[in-house]
Each structure stands twice: as structure tokens, then as C-alpha cells.
Structure 1
Amino acid sequence: MKIVDLELYHSSIPLHTPFKTALRTVTIAESVFVKITCDNGIIGWGEAPPTHVITGDSLASIHYAINKVIRPVLTGADLTSSASVFTRLEKAIVRNTSAKAAVDMALYDCLSQAANQPLYQYLGGYRSQLENDYTVSVNEIEQMHKDAKLYKEKGFRVLKVKVGKDAAEKDIERVSAVRQAVGDDVLIRLDANQGWTAKEAVKAIIRMEDLGLNIELVEQPVAAHDLKGLKYITDHTTTPIMADEAVFSAQDARRMLEMGAADLINIKLMKAGGIYQAIKIANLSQIFGVSCMVGSMIETKLGITAAAHFAASHPAVTRFDFDAPLMLSDDILEGGIHYEGNGNQITFLNQPGLGIKAVKEAYLEVIKRDRSW
């Protein structure tokens, strides 16, 4: 099964509600879609959104990395030697993790189709249903109270609350308002998106502990490079601390795990460079007895489907953050993962690969190989 072509498309879908974090506000979900065609007729799909403030990837850099560097390296490659192909993908270009992730997804889509298995089963088939959370964007307190109450009414039992945009004292008020809105039967996890200093984080988390706000975890409270600060927070609070932007690669994970800098790791395919590399992080975490969450950037159901299949396949992954497609004004895919109810449960179709039946052409623009951004 040899790769005969890689085609690129640009997609753009508005969000029905702005997504706000300490790092950015998103109103339109843009992505580069990758379509890999093999000589036996199998077609695989992947996706890479530009997330400048986290991965550094832009639409232009994703396009260039795939079209000018990765395409020549992989065209003609034989997927029956898949480890060799994934190694060539990783070595083709330094960083550019989102571009690599999109190609990696498409490769795994092809491989699992050839095996006539859904991807999560091809990867190990550990579970077949996931409980999804929903994100409460960082806003004024009244709006966050209203949003949290709405998401609970829709059936979500886990909320991911964004903080870190203003002073930590205001974040405590935000979280208190969310807890008041949802009561005690909803799990609340926080994501500061690098918005606090280490001492601010410790003070705020201890205060929330004293108030009995019952926070499940706090994600990436300090700057990505500040592993000492992350460890300081982990050592001085009882609430579990999760590393996100601090861990891109297996090497990052090993460093963090050996330091004991965090209690948990958030794996994202766009940071890791795809499923092949994400498996390494999950395996390391399992060895150290550390649980993982799998999350995403603002992606369509294509990228989320790949991430969900990976998450379902590995026992170290115990938390799932796949609400991005629920924020979009339309669904670009026919097939892929299935959201039950209002999206709080995710199940998988009994279809080979990612289970993609079609991609809606109305949202796709062909990216010509000589395009200049």
C-alpha cells in the first residue's frame, strides 16, 4: 500500500459563540485538511488548525511544511512498513507539529481502513465510549454563571472553566460563581492557559480549596517553560496540577515526569505531532503512574475524531476534552465520531478507519501547490 498523492484543502467555519481563553479569542475555526491517496484506492484524512500562540503554526507554515517538505519525503512510501513511514515524517522537518499531526492522522486512517478496523480498535480498543466535557470561556462573572448553568442543563457533568486572564482574585470569584450555578454534582476543572505566576497560583488554589469549591484539577497555571514553577505549585497544593503547553514531545514528558513537576498531562495531537508520537507520551505516563487527558485546539470533527480514537485506545487516558466541534456553526463531516444527546457522550461508528463518509465540499477550498499566502 503505497502513497501516491497528498492533497491540501483550506476550511473555514464560524463559531456560534466566541471561544475565550487567557491566550486568545477565536471566532472562526480555520484548518488545513490533508487527503492522502494510496495506490489501492484507500483515502485517508487529517486536519491541522493554526494555533499561533501555542504551537506557532500558521496556515502558511502548515501548507509549506506539508507541500514542500513532507509530500516529497512520503510520496511513494510503503505503508506496510509503517514505523519507517512515521519515522520519516518525524525527521522530515523540525517542529511543525500541527502539519505532522494532520499527515499522521491521514496515515492512521489509511492503515486502519486497510486492516478493516475502526482506528481505536486498530490502536488497541481499550474503551468504546467517552464522557465529554464542555468549556466555559473566560468572561465576566455573570456570563460565566449563565453559561455554566446552561451547559449543566444540556447534560454535561464535567465543565472546563477558563481562568488566568485577569487577577487571580477575580478568577476565584469566577469559579465561585460557576460552582454556585452548577451545584455539587458537576465536576469542575480549571485551565489557566499559563496566566498565573507560581505564587499567584498557589495562593489562588489554596483559597479555592479553603472555600470548598472542589476543583478536580488545574491545568497549566504558569508559563510553558516554567517547569520549576509548575513543580512548586504541585508541591504546595493538594489539588492535582496538569501540564499542557509544557509538554509537546515525549522528551518533554520524560523531563516533567522525572521532576514530578505535575500530577497529570494533557496530550494534544497538534502539540505531539500526531498519534504515533502521542502514544509515546501516554506510554511514558503509564510507566510513571500518571494519568492523561486528551484535548484539542479549535478543530472540526475531523481532527477531534482522530484524537478521540487515540484517547479511546489507551488505558493511561482517563479524561476527554472534545467539545470544539460543538462550538462550530456547522458540522463539516459525514461520519466520524458520534455525539450522543447534546454532546456529553461520544461513541464510535463501526466503520473502518476514522469512519469518514464524506467531507462537505462547501467548506473546502483546494490549496494549489504553488499557492503563496
Structure 2
Amino acid sequence: MTDSEFMTFFAEAASAGFRAFKIKVGHRDPHRDLHRLELLRQVVGSDVQVMIDANEAWTVEEAAQRLTLFRDSGFPILWAEDPILRDDFDGLRALRAMVPWVQVNSGEYLDISGRRRLLQAGGTDILNVHGRITEVMRIGWLAADMGVGVSLGNTFLETGVHAACALPEVRWMEYSFQNYDHLVDEPILIRDGHAHVGRRPGIGFALSSAAREAWSAPEVLETEELAIGPVCAVLQRHRQAPTPMSDSHTAARI
């Protein structure tokens, strides 16, 4: 986003009643990150919760330096999401000790086994989960057993709100203003920064008839009518040309 788009987006979120905001950081120039934090404060005020997501941009030392810089520049941060590599469990544990004023949020990109090892290593203050409900419930209960908070990352149509309500340690759920509400008759109600769960059974959604008519797929084409993509064309040439056994193994791996 440009600075103008950034400010417009968060001003609209604030006007909708949200009181917690997450922004991307991790730019090579730390002053670029400070600039965005200042813009955020200008549009939403200082009496809010601010989270940052570095998308694994830093080393442990860099993360500690940046988080210290943000604090000393007057920007209190609730959590730093994925500040370093996702599977550097020792580094995440060390970072928690180095910056105790910021909570580390990690686990979004790990599978259930990786999240278990992350918890066992003491590498996160908040476990980030989303995706398959069964997997979320399993690891969410383990986090609760270990006294670790849980946040629900982005989930399609906010289906994660059901898991959030069913687990004891969920404190936050992300909302990204993704325009999927038109697909169902009654979407999850988001009002004043809170998700309001309906009382219909299961996930509670019914596919909208209007959406089904407007967004239905085109007629199915026969195989011979399909265009050949670049990868398929390469494989097709491999199949047609006489090649030694070693080359055919290479084509199979592709």
C-alpha cells in the first residue's frame, strides 16, 4: 500500500470499531517501519493495541534491536509475529528473554508437529493457528494445557471463530476485510471489533443462491479442448522424444 492507502485502510477499520491493529514490518530500513507506525498512530490514536508482523525478516539480534528501537521511539507493541525463522525454536526462546516487553507470536507456518515442538521449546508467548479445524483444536488444547495463549489467524469466511469460542486460551482472531460475505446468506457478524457467533448448527453457513448464480463455474471442457500450459508442454515433449532412462527419471521428478 502507498502511505495514503495505508492510512485510509486503517482509518476505516477504526471507524468500524476495531481497537487492535496489525501492520507489516521488516523493511531493510528501520525508519520505514517507524514511519508506518507513526502513520498508524495518526489515524487510530495511541489508545489502541498494535501488533507487527515481520514475516521472518530478521535474525535474533536484528529482531531484538528493532523491537528495542520501536519501544524507545514511543511505539509500544503488543506482539511481534514471526520475527525470525519459524523453526528456529532456540532463537525464538532466546528472543523472548531478550525483549520481555513484547510477546512473540509464532506458529502460523508450522504443521501440528512443528507447533508441538515450538510449544515444548518455550519459543512463543502466543501460538498462531488457522486452517483445518481438527488440527487447530488439537494443538489449541495442548497450548491451553501449557498455559500458552492462542490467536486465530485468517480463516475463510471467519470459520475460525467457532474454534476460537471452543478453546480456552484464544485471545484474538484476525479479521482482514476480505470480501467473502456475499457468498453466504448470513455471514459472521463483525461489529465494534468483535465477532458475534450465530446459533445455527455447525459452521452455520448457507451458500447464497444469488452468489451461486453469479459465480458458478463455466461449462466443463473436454480434455482435448484444454489449453496446454508451459509445464505440461515441457513434459509432453519429454514423453514424445526418445530419451535414456536417466532423463525419464528426471522428467518424472518434475
- 8 Å contact 2:10–2:43 — kept in the other structure? yes
Structure number with higher strand proportion: 1
- 8 Å contact 2:17–2:191 — kept in the other structure? no
Letter in 1 for 2:175: F
Letter in 2 for 1:345: H
| 1:194 pairs with one of 51, 56, 59 | 56
Using the size of structure 1 for normalisation, the TM-score is: 0.54
Query: 2 CA distance for matches of 1:224 and 1:143?
Result: 30
Equivalent position of 1:247 in the other structure: 110
Equivalent position of 2:166 in the other structure: 313
Structure 2 residues without counterparts, runs of 5 or longer: 230-254
Answer with 1 or 2: which has the greater Rg: 2
Instruction: Give, in angstroms, the shift of residue 211 of structure 1.
Output: 2.2
Question: Deviations for 1:107-152, whole angstroms, at most 9, x for unmatched residues?
Answer: xxxxxxxxxxxxxxxxxxxxxxxxxxxxxxxx34454344333321
Equivalent position of 1:291 in the other structure: 149
Give the root-mean-square deviation of aligned CA atoms: 2.6
Query: 1 CA distance for matches of 2:88 and 2:218?
Result: 40
Query: 1 CA distance for matches of 2:186 and 2:69?
Result: 45
- 8 Å contact 1:141–1:173 — kept in the other structure? no
- 8 Å contact 1:197–1:222 — kept in the other structure? yes
Structure 1 residues without counterparts, runs of 5 or longer: 1-138
Structure number with higher helix proportion: 2
| 1:264 pairs with one of 108, 126, 130 | 126
Q: How many residues align?
A: 221
Query: 2 CA distance for matches of 1:152 and 1:165?
Result: 25
Equivalent position of 2:96 in the other structure: 234
Matched, 1:348 2:186: no
Query: 1 CA distance for matches of 2:136 and 2:53?
Result: 21
Equivalent position of 1:179 in the other structure: 41
- 8 Å contact 1:168–1:201 — kept in the other structure? no
Using the size of structure 2 for normalisation, the TM-score is: 0.77
Instruction: Tell me which of the two structures has the higher relative contact order, counting C-alpha pairs closer than 8 angstroms and 6 or more residues apart.
Output: 1
Query: 2 CA distance for matches of 1:313 and 1:276?
Result: 12
Question: Deviations for 1:72-123, whole angstroms, at most 9, x for unmatched residues?
Answer: xxxxxxxxxxxxxxxxxxxxxxxxxxxxxxxxxxxxxxxxxxxxxxxxxxxx
Equivalent position of 1:224 in the other structure: 86
1:137-176 superposed matches below 5 A: 139-176=1-38
- Distance change in 2, residues 1:255/1:330 (3 Å): closer
- Distance change in 2, residues 1:212/1:327 (3 Å): same
Question: Deviations for 1:209-230, whole angstroms, at most 9, x for unmatched residues?
Answer: 1223121111111222333332
